[in-house]
Chain A
Amino acid sequence: KAGVTQTPRYLIKTRGQQVTLSCSPISGHRSVSWYQQTPGQGLQFLFEYFSETQRNKGNFPGRFSGRQFSNSRSEMNVSTLELGDSALYLCASSIAGGSGYEQYFGPGTRLTVT
């Protein structure tokens, strides 16, 4: 079974631009969560989608948004990029999300904002 895939793997953007990241979950998984990973803050939860609906949201500004399609693939968008948005963005899929359901992480998208 193929794992979680994320595209692109690396991205360089300029301040003020916007970016879209993509995540394809494991086949059959309906929950997709997004995380931001930085050396100082560790992994921080952005949001979770389940059956095309945002079910949970972390404490990030409205510049961070996402969506999920009917095939469970998910995209994450960051508008008006700031230098502090440079991070590894990870997505994780699980069958149903929440406690008791193992999350499988993708390799991440490394975003650098200059």
Chain B
Amino acid sequence: GESVGLHLPTLSVQEGDNSIINCAYSNSASDYFIWYKQESGKGPQFIIDIRSNMDKRQGQRVTVLLNKTVKHLSLQIAATQPGDSAVYFCADVMTGNQFYFGTGTSLTVIP
């Protein structure tokens, strides 16, 4: 079956530094990837997405990189702020519209 994993369960960064959260996926048929942020007591919130025909996509302070050769996805957060502290999930969507989520990386921003 599909598996989506994150390389590190926890990540601590200094405020102002850049954060990089990584994710690996297993199915070559995945054609759409999403990063979500989940704060305590809330549901996941969409951050940014990328299609399989792209290598990079930028948003406000966030960049997603997709390496299809090694089935790897990363989320880069520039100038990390305390409000960025949360659990981050990657998800991939295969044909059939099923979303597969990783277990999440908990990001802690140190003031």
Contacts and interface: CB of A to CB of B under 8 A. Distances in A.
A45 B44 CA distance: 14
Most chain A CB within 10 A, of B41, B51, B93, B98, is at B98
Interface stretch (B14-22, B69-77, B101-109): B101-109
A80 to B, nearest CB: 25
B101 A55 contact: no
Given A90-B44, A102-B46, A42 B101 contact: yes
Nearest to B43: A105
Interface string A26-58: 000000010100001111110010000001101
A66 interface: no
Interface stretch (A13-21, A68-76, A91-99): A91-99
A43 B43 CA distance: 11
Interface residues of A, number: 27
Contacts of B44: 43, 90, 92, 105
A103 B89 contact: no
Contact of B43 (A48, A102, A107): A107
Nearest to A6: B43
Contact of A100 (B32, B98, B99, B103): B32
A55 B41 contact: no
A6 B79 CA distance: 34
B104 A58 contact: no
A99 B97 contact: yes
Contacts of A48: 97-98
Interface of A: 4, 33, 35, 40-45, 48, 55-56, 58-59, 90, 92, 97-100, 102-108
